Amino acid sequence: MAFSPAEATYPQALDVVVDEDTLRVDLSDGRTIAVPLAWYPRLAHGSATERGNWRLIADGEGLHWPDLDEDISVAALLTGKRSAESGASLQRWLKARAG
């Protein structure tokens, strides 16, 4: 029997902790997944206050940081997908943040 990634179901995010170098997400199935903060440059460039201002989206299927305009899905975390933002886009965002 073939299995399609589109058919996969993922646990929901319950809680998030972001420190200086790691993003940790507690999941509804009891796991905690941790990834390097460097995978998500907007989070890496954010302040502790900005990184701490997050909310669950889509019933825990994803996470949103409104101050950083960053969205990350549980599926992306579990499959090891890093931010797909281009270097040029990140530079524009950083320039806009600087004023």
Please enumerate, as own/partner, the contacts of 43-48 that have beta carbons within 8 Å and a separation of 24 or more.
43/18, 43/68, 43/70, 45/94, 45/97
Please give the pLDDT value at position 3: 59
Query: For residue 4, what pLDDT is reported?
Result: 58
CA distance 30 to 1: 28
| Residue numbers of the domain that contains 60 | 10-98
Reported pTM = 0.88
Query: Does residue 50 lie in a domain region?
Result: yes
What's the pLDDT at 9? 85
Count: domains in the chain = 1
Residue 4 lies in a domain: no
pLDDT at 99: 85
Question: Does residue 2 belong to any structural domain of this protein?
Answer: no
CATH at 50: 3.30.2020.40
Q: What is the mean pLDDT of each run of 10 residues along the chain (99 residues)?
A: 66 96 97 97 97 96 97 96 96 94
Per the domain annotation, does 87 fall within a domain? Answer: yes
